[in-house]
Structure 1
Amino acid sequence: MISTVEESGDKTTKMRKRAIIKGKKKRNTSKRIAEFEPLPPNSPTTLCTGDPLRVPLAPSTDLPWPNRRPVEPEKDELDIDIRSVASLKYIPESDDDFSEILQANSPARTSISGYNSSTCTPESLLIPQIELEPSDNHTSSQENSELEDDERIAKYKTRQIKLSGVKSGRDYEQSKSLAETNWLKVFPNSNLPSTIVYYNIDDDDSVKEVAHQLSGLSEVETPLIAYRNSRINGTPTIFYAVYSRNPKKVKKWLKEEADPNSVADLKDLFDSKEDGYKPVPVKIPLLAFAILLEEPEIVRLLLTFGANPLVIPGVLRLPVIKPAIYRVSKSPEGITKEFVENVSQDDATKWCTDAVVFNRLKLATNLSIRYDLQKADTFKITARQRQLARDPRSKMDFTPLFKLHFDIIGQDLAVKKIIQELLRRKMMKTSPWPCESTRDRPTVFIFAGPKDHGQSKMVFQIAHNLGIPFFSFTESDHTLYSEPDGKNDIVERLLDEHVGSNTKPGEASEFCIFSLENVEKMSSGALDSFFTGPIKANREGFTSHDFSKTIWVVTTNILNPMITAFYEENQPLTPEKMTGKEGRALMSAMKKFVRSGTTSLSVFADYVDSIIPFFPFSENEQFALAHRALWKLRSQLLKPINLTNGYSRNLLGNIKLVTEKDYQCCRMIAKSYNPNEGAGSMKQAVADIEREMFYHFLESSEDAISEKDEKEITEYVLKVEKENDAILVQTGNVMPKEDF
């Protein structure tokens, strides 16, 4: 154990610093890091792999900066005493909060508190001299415990998560082919875990058979209770649905009232059958299990249906961009049993007291998941909203609509207004409502704001989450324009096809979405024949179509000046500002403009239910967008290698993208964000990373891709070289591919 000594006047203060010493004991001398010159505002973002032929772009000659920028130390690089955070009852929400905690808990390192996170320019930082103290029996025992923890963490770092009773995909198919009759009926108990994992959720017969088998595991033999209460050897069956990595299966269990806060007492979380491995038992919440499987879409589903985000230790998820664990532990060596037990003291996180499990959870709780956990903790769905969403008088369950909170980055006000209005429309169709004049009218939204800030994605996710058809039209779409007689029947034909009498029983949807993009570029005449004409015909009795089943979304950029000015004047945007006096003033101004008659938006003035502003992304939201883009790239690279000569042939695959510090990579990508261009402005930065990874793939080996590569997963590690604003790609661990 090392003691760090720093002198101030006549007093000497000692501070413990955890470290593992192998071989000789080392002594560090006092150093001082020079102050750094701040960067100009428009520094270039470049990427390279270290190839001398691929030189990063040089900085512009008209900018006052040096050719090589010194590296700025970050808070996670300051060797903070891990004990000062392990004992905290409060996890900091921001960099400023974290500095205050460090100042209060680490008096010997008062220079750390001078770090100004708002300017990212550190004051002079003193690295104190390190001296050694004689060790006693307690210290020796503690170091042995730390060594044991470190060895276990390293050993299990790449071990696959396993669920008892689940066969490999190959073994399952072989056993199934040997059965001459129904597979489930022959071996219902022993094969049900594997069947839940591998059955086809889109095949109605398989779904019915699984539901029947689940009923046999329940006290009451009805499928509704079966999904909710069924267990296999004490493990809730929803764990097997999550283990399938299939969001549609998980959604099926959740809609049948399975508990998103289920807990399983797993005797061995990893595959520990080989020599040298011991079982790792854990009593794990379902949400943590999904995070360990690295399935963000399933994590969002669980949060949508009410999973408790607080089961994840706060030190792993707060602050969202760079959580406290990165500031107190640069490597797994800081994660010992003592530390884990200290940060997992409350009732919700007591399950996470094993150093191996904690470290794996740290690696899996990436920036996107941290953002979703914060959303779930701050953007609450009330019990009343959930009750209305699941009203049995309607065949459509609106609970998946709450997933918009996690599907859409930012835009909390838009999500809130959409949920409120659609729940209102649902109640109008199933209950007496005082406003009879609007009962048969369509639902109309105007989405206003700078382009590519979630407008189109919002429309898609509403339709996808509710499982309803949607149709998108642009100004160049010829179907917008009327026939020579002035009529346009495209809406009526689509209604007949998807929500009218021409659909088969059970296939008719309760709603249908029509999206009109960039409506300011469309003529009022086209909009009148396409939108207003059919509604008037319905009102006058010339058509029998039910337009109350239609949702119209109109997107426009014409209100951008109002929205941008509001955003700039009221930063940071808070729920109080958006729904308070300032927000009401914005809404009033937008309504007056729509009714002014100066643009084609006036066609919708008498029908619009809500004008919804979409704002530029905050810094946290930019980072979350960047990480989701990286995760999409990761999913593409993980596709299996296939050496067959058919359509499914794929030579670039079985690559697992790993980011050592995801916030650093996301910061590099977010530098390219342009509020006028939205999320699309960051696509080029992600494309540059994809290009670098392909170059690394070409140069990493001279051998042809073989059957051996089909059976292995190779990690590609992204590392940020801050002094050059570059992202480097390196080869990491190579591990057997899971037969799944």
Structure 2
Amino acid sequence: MEQRSGVPVGQDHSVWDYVLPKMDFPGTPLYKDGPKPFDLESLIYNIQLGADCRYVRNYLANYDKAHVRRELNGIIDGFPSIFYVVARNDDSILRLWVANGGNVGAIHEASQVPLLAFAIAHSENSQRDMTAIVATILGLGADPACIPEEFYTPYTDDLPIDGPETIEENEKTAWCKIEARKKLGKTLNFSQRYFLWRATCTDRPSVRAKQITLRKNAQAILEIPYFMIGQTVASNRIFTRLLNHISMPSSKTKPNMKPLVLVFAGPSGHGKTELARQLGHLLSLDLEVADCTIVEHERELFGPRHPYVGAERGTPLNNFLARHADQGCIAFLDEFEKTTKDVHEALLLPFDNGEYQDRRDLRRINCTKTIWILATNALDEQIISFCDRYEDIIVGDESTKQKLGRTLSKELKQAFLQRFGAPLTGRISDFVPFVPFSAGEQAVVAHKFLRELTSTIREPVDLCEGSGERLIGNINLHVKHDASVCTTIAKSDYSRDLGARSLSVAVKAVEGLVVELYYQEDEEIVEDGKMMDVMVDSHAGEIRVKLLDPSS
């Protein structure tokens, strides 16, 4: 029977197998003989073949923006074009698509399946983790209510393999019939349920916020509250601060020339570095991480000034700032409490008006577009004490969390002032608190590491010589009752002092159990060998790993 649009011709098109058609199109490069009239089908064909984000961006740049926005949501073989973009599982291409007019609320007309549901279900066909794409779709504005809330409320409960027995059907969920529920029940993982739940608790950006970010080409700012596990106080404060920073007007008499300087304060392993890296990724900004534990003098951070010995080499941070003169970038000073007074004094001028001097040649550098982040554990005692007094900053509703977050931020400013002095404190734009994870968030962090393990050991065995060698691979890791498994790991191993690091170590122990099973197989490791199916489950508070019978 002829196959078309993932549904056999002649059958009920309201039932779809979530498979997109492979484009049957001549393999002619889009740029051969120069740009041609905008061709959406050719572009989708090349995306299916593996075209990267730069390729897509360069192609779109050849055409009038208004024309691209009119054409980009076209239907290709019965599916909105953005379905093919999501299937590619590349969040950078998806963001680019939406920035140029792509619609994350798109629906496959024949089955009425929304894009968000397709992203979840596609993991089975692609055998890839689609969690980052699901979170990105939510961050870009998709309505989580198109997925029945029975699938993710409460997100800490295990989801039946066939999905909920019943759902409260409404206009948004009418597409989710029995077969669709079974598909989602099989493919919707613990982390995705968390992000769906979190999206329902997060206020959508206002029309004006969308307008400002669009005019400033900074739409990715709108995603900030959606991609972190926990830390809603931190992500919302950063969202608000960045929105304010890019929208305030400048004039000749009152230029907006101060760089953004943020203090990230909180216990280790609770997302300070992760949030900085995600900001760099979302905003397409280069990030330089400076380890302040090895800095005793300012010259170790920035280098000696010309003409002193060694000035010509500079330092990683000095050279990074010089390369990004008058450009947006992120300078992340980790464990800032280890720095000394001369470092603080050296930062006063860059923090105040964005002026910096390249130590190699004394050239003046404009750093007004630099985002400075000072990460510190020096205020942990104040944060833990506050959380013990006001537990709702961790487990309360979002409104309560944000209110308590403002109070905590003020307390941190006073503590920072006592520790680092008025000159430096007066140049800080905001104090961003990072708090311990709730019980549910701890479990989701554990699941993040399990997902990473699953992706790593699924890669094929490679017996080449050198760095590409991969002796452990071709393993399908199945996490049965993923919420229970991750809750068991979190209850046993989470530490407020270590945060995510404690859960990473715990998942390393699971990895050890899987590897032990792998090496017990009494046959030679070969490339292109059969897949090995391993189940992870929990029982009576213990994690168990077993080999699945391939015939079952």
Q: Is the TM value for this pair above 0.5?
A: yes
1:413-428 alignment, distance < 5 Å: 413-428=233-248
Does 2:193 align with 1:370? yes
Partner in structure 2 of residue 398 of structure 1: 218
Quick check: 2:348–2:423 contact (8 Å CA) kept in 1?
yes
- 1:451, distance to aligned residue in structure 2 (A): 1.3
- 1:484, distance to aligned residue in structure 2 (A): 6.8
User: Residue type matched to 2:543 in 1?
Assistant: A
Partner in structure 1 of residue 68 of structure 2: 223
CA 589–189 in structure 1, closer or farther in 2 if over 3 Å, else same:
closer
Partner in structure 1 of residue 333 of structure 2: 516
User: Residue type matched to 2:22 in 1?
Assistant: G
Q: 1:163 aligns with which of 17, 20, 24?
A: 20
SS at match of 1:390: helix
- Which consecutive residues of structure 1, in runs of 5 or more, have no partner in the other structure? 1-158, 267-281, 501-508, 736-740
- 1:713, distance to aligned residue in structure 2 (A): 4.3
CA 584–377 in structure 1, closer or farther in 2 if over 3 Å, else same:
closer
Partner in structure 2 of residue 726 of structure 1: 543
CA 494–708 in structure 1, closer or farther in 2 if over 3 Å, else same:
closer
Partner in structure 2 of residue 292 of structure 1: 121
**Aligned counterparts of 1:538 and 1:406: Cα–Cα separation in 2:** 30
Does 2:537 align with 1:692? no
Quick check: 1:520–1:601 contact (8 Å CA) kept in 2?
no
Partner in structure 2 of residue 458 of structure 1: 275
User: Residue type matched to 1:312 in 2?
Assistant: I
**Aligned counterparts of 2:243 and 2:439: Cα–Cα separation in 1:** 31
CA 635–289 in structure 1, closer or farther in 2 if over 3 Å, else same:
same
What TM-score comes out, normalization by structure 2 length?
0.82
Partner in structure 2 of residue 640 of structure 1: 460
- 1:653, distance to aligned residue in structure 2 (A): 2.2
1:316-327 alignment, distance < 5 Å: 316-322=151-157, 325-326=159-160
Partner in structure 1 of residue 348 of structure 2: 532
Partner in structure 2 of residue 595 of structure 1: 417
* RMSD between aligned residues: 3.7
User: Residue type matched to 2:436 in 1?
Assistant: P
CA 642–343 in structure 1, closer or farther in 2 if over 3 Å, else same:
same
**Aligned counterparts of 2:118 and 2:227: Cα–Cα separation in 1:** 21
SS at match of 2:537: strand
1:117-156 alignment, distance < 5 Å: none
1:234-270 deviations in Å (ceiling 9; x for gaps): 311111111122222222211212110100135xxxx
- 1:452, distance to aligned residue in structure 2 (A): 1.4
What TM-score comes out, normalization by structure 1 length?
0.62
1:445-524 alignment, distance < 5 Å: 445-475=262-292, 476-477=294-295, 479-480=300-301, 483=304, 493-500=319-326, 509=327, 511-524=328-341
- 1:365, distance to aligned residue in structure 2 (A): 1.3
Quick check: 1:659–1:718 contact (8 Å CA) kept in 2?
yes
Partner in structure 1 of residue 533 of structure 2: 715
CA 689–514 in structure 1, closer or farther in 2 if over 3 Å, else same:
same
SS at match of 2:392: coil
**Aligned counterparts of 2:473 and 2:509: Cα–Cα separation in 1:** 18
Quick check: 1:669–1:682 contact (8 Å CA) kept in 2?
yes
CA 176–654 in structure 1, closer or farther in 2 if over 3 Å, else same:
farther
1:285-320 deviations in Å (ceiling 9; x for gaps): 000000112301111111111011111122211101
CA 435–617 in structure 1, closer or farther in 2 if over 3 Å, else same:
farther
Does 2:384 align with 1:554? no
**Aligned counterparts of 1:658 and 1:543: Cα–Cα separation in 2:** 57
1:487-542 deviations in Å (ceiling 9; x for gaps): 99866653331234xxxxxxxx3x2211111122111112322x124457867999
Of structures 1 and 2, the larger Rg is shown by 1
User: Residue type matched to 2:202 in 1?
Assistant: F
- 1:668, distance to aligned residue in structure 2 (A): 2.1
Does 2:148 align with 1:313? yes
CA 648–427 in structure 1, closer or farther in 2 if over 3 Å, else same:
same
Q: 2:170 aligns with which of 346, 350, 372?
A: 346
Quick check: 2:189–2:482 contact (8 Å CA) kept in 1?
yes
Quick check: 1:449–1:615 contact (8 Å CA) kept in 2?
yes
Percent of aligned pairs with the same residue? 22
**Aligned counterparts of 1:389 and 1:226: Cα–Cα separation in 2:** 24
- Which consecutive residues of structure 2, in runs of 5 or more, have no partner in the other structure? 1-15, 124-129
User: Residue type matched to 2:535 in 1?
Assistant: V
1:566-623 deviations in Å (ceiling 9; x for gaps): 101111323444443x555433332222223xx3365521201111111111101101
Quick check: 2:354–2:368 contact (8 Å CA) kept in 1?
no
- 1:658, distance to aligned residue in structure 2 (A): 1.3
Partner in structure 2 of residue 257 of structure 1: 101
**Aligned counterparts of 1:446 and 1:646: Cα–Cα separation in 2:** 42
Count of aligned positions? 513
- 1:191, distance to aligned residue in structure 2 (A): 6.7
SS at match of 2:375: strand
User: Residue type matched to 1:251 in 2?
Assistant: R
CA 384–544 in structure 1, closer or farther in 2 if over 3 Å, else same:
farther
Quick check: 1:559–1:590 contact (8 Å CA) kept in 2?
yes
**Aligned counterparts of 2:173 and 2:493: Cα–Cα separation in 1:** 38
User: Residue type matched to 1:347 in 2?
Assistant: E
- 1:643, distance to aligned residue in structure 2 (A): 5.0
Relative contact order (alpha carbons < 8 A, sep ≥ 6): 1 or 2 greater? Answer: 1
1:664-679 alignment, distance < 5 Å: 664-670=484-490, 671-679=492-500
User: Residue type matched to 1:298 in 2?
Assistant: I
Partner in structure 2 of residue 196 of structure 1: 47
User: Residue type matched to 1:532 in 2?
Assistant: L
**Aligned counterparts of 1:691 and 1:601: Cα–Cα separation in 2:** 48
**Aligned counterparts of 2:525 and 2:17: Cα–Cα separation in 1:** 24
CA 586–730 in structure 1, closer or farther in 2 if over 3 Å, else same:
same
Quick check: 2:146–2:173 contact (8 Å CA) kept in 1?
yes
User: Residue type matched to 1:265 in 2?
Assistant: E
Quick check: 1:665–1:727 contact (8 Å CA) kept in 2?
no
Does 2:502 align with 1:681? yes
**Aligned counterparts of 1:637 and 1:184: Cα–Cα separation in 2:** 42
**Aligned counterparts of 2:321 and 2:199: Cα–Cα separation in 1:** 36
**Aligned counterparts of 1:410 and 1:697: Cα–Cα separation in 2:** 34
CA 344–583 in structure 1, closer or farther in 2 if over 3 Å, else same:
closer
